[in-house]
Chain A
């Protein structure tokens, strides 16, 4: 991911250090927490600080938990599904990041209306990075069998990770995978039994381990996200 302009590596490391130390204000802390979902550089710096300072935890005297605490924990697990990763559409950062997408979608829409020969795509989606709302990809679709993903730039992906493309209609239970995407390359979704496209349908790219999400649901951080706008 890109680093905001003017932020030097030193500043990034200082921010990561204070995040782990715990001295950031509540607002700064929240901002870092959201940024961590998409900013690989910051995440690496935070991980390094967690590791550096970990041994200081030994300075706190151990306290034996009361006998009832484990029973309480065990009871609380009854209502929990084991080890499901947080789903991307439940993350606040995702929704915040989409704020900037509207204006850009309008621009692209105007552009496409002026230049595109008929038949025009009936849906347009601008996918933006949650952290800074920078546009990364455009989705063009005339119907559910004809969805095309077009890159607006080069976005490096760690060598052991892949980008996975997802969509979710407003009434759907969970996102559906549209396949793995190569960074910086156009991608046409293979014909599939997708329900018809709808306005506001979510599209997103997550970072997943090689081979794609093992669960069939997004598990990695959201890289780009946007909602479908109907084109006349």
Chain B
């Protein structure tokens, strides 16, 4: 048989988690754990911390699965949001004062194997329409979890300019993506 690979059922897994089925949580972990850890690692910039974040994320996915509302977005998006916000909270609590050095960043390239789903293609097409420095602002913020001040340091640009760029870039992205 040459049938297409079935899509992983994120929503079904969350529903099963809500019913107390641990195998469903494990399936989510097997399916998405490495990618989620990559997201947490990128923001936390530390392996042990990233694993702590992923641990907390899966406990939260388990305890909050019943609160997932498919009317508000995809189940996959929800588990990423849970993980990202935990990671962002972590660095907000601990690391905002640390000065970043640019060298540390150049050693963390953006992954090249971007999956070309519709959404993915759309955001990248829209990002390409921004000036390169503004695109960097969005990526450093979202992917690296950088604050305004950190981005200002990395791009050697005044803080006020960075804030204005991000505001305008978000507006442009919204208009581009709908």
Contact = CB atoms under 8 A, between A and B. Distances in A.
Nearest to B51: A69
Contacts of A56: 123, 138-139, 142-143
17 contacts: A22-B141, A29-B89, A50-B81, A53-B123, A54-B74, A54-B77, A54-B119, A55-B117, A69-B55, A70-B26, A74-B22, A80-B59, A82-B19, A82-B20, A82-B65, A84-B63, A85-B64
A191 to B, nearest CB: 32
A114 to B, nearest CB: 45
Interface of B: 17-20, 22, 25-26, 29, 33-35, 37-39, 41-43, 47, 50-51, 54-55, 58-59, 62-67, 71-74, 76-77, 80-81, 84, 88-89, 92-93, 96, 108, 110-111, 113-115, 117, 119-120, 122-124, 138-139, 141-143, 145-148, 166-167, 170-171, 173-174, 177
B71 to A, nearest CB: 8
Contacts of A80: 59, 62-63
B106 to A, nearest CB: 14
Contacts of A31: none
A74 B175 CA distance: 43
A77 interface: yes
A107 interface: no
Given A55-B117, A61-B111, A82-B65, 15 more contacts: A17-B174, A18-B166, A50-B80, A52-B174, A53-B142, A55-B120, A55-B124, A60-B38, A62-B35, A63-B38, A69-B51, A73-B54, A74-B22, A81-B63, A84-B66
Given A17-B170, A65-B54, A26 B92 contact: yes
A23 B22 CA distance: 34
A34 interface: no
A19 B167 CA distance: 12
A10 interface: yes
A56 B174 CA distance: 15
A219 B80 contact: no
Interface residues of A, number: 47
Given A64-B37, A83-B19, A85-B64, A59 B143 contact: yes
A177 B170 CA distance: 43
B66 A21 contact: no
A70 B29 contact: yes
Given A50-B81, A51-B73, A54-B119, A63 B41 contact: yes
B168 to A, nearest CB: 10
B111 A59 contact: yes
Per CB-CB distance, the 5 closest pairs between chain A and chain B, nearest first, are: A82-B20, A55-B120, A17-B170, A83-B18, A60-B42
A47 interface: yes
Given A76-B59, A83-B64, A85-B64, A61 B22 contact: no
B47 to A, nearest CB: 8
A84 B62 CA distance: 9
Given A70-B29, A83-B18, A85-B64, A14 B77 contact: no
A177 to B, nearest CB: 17
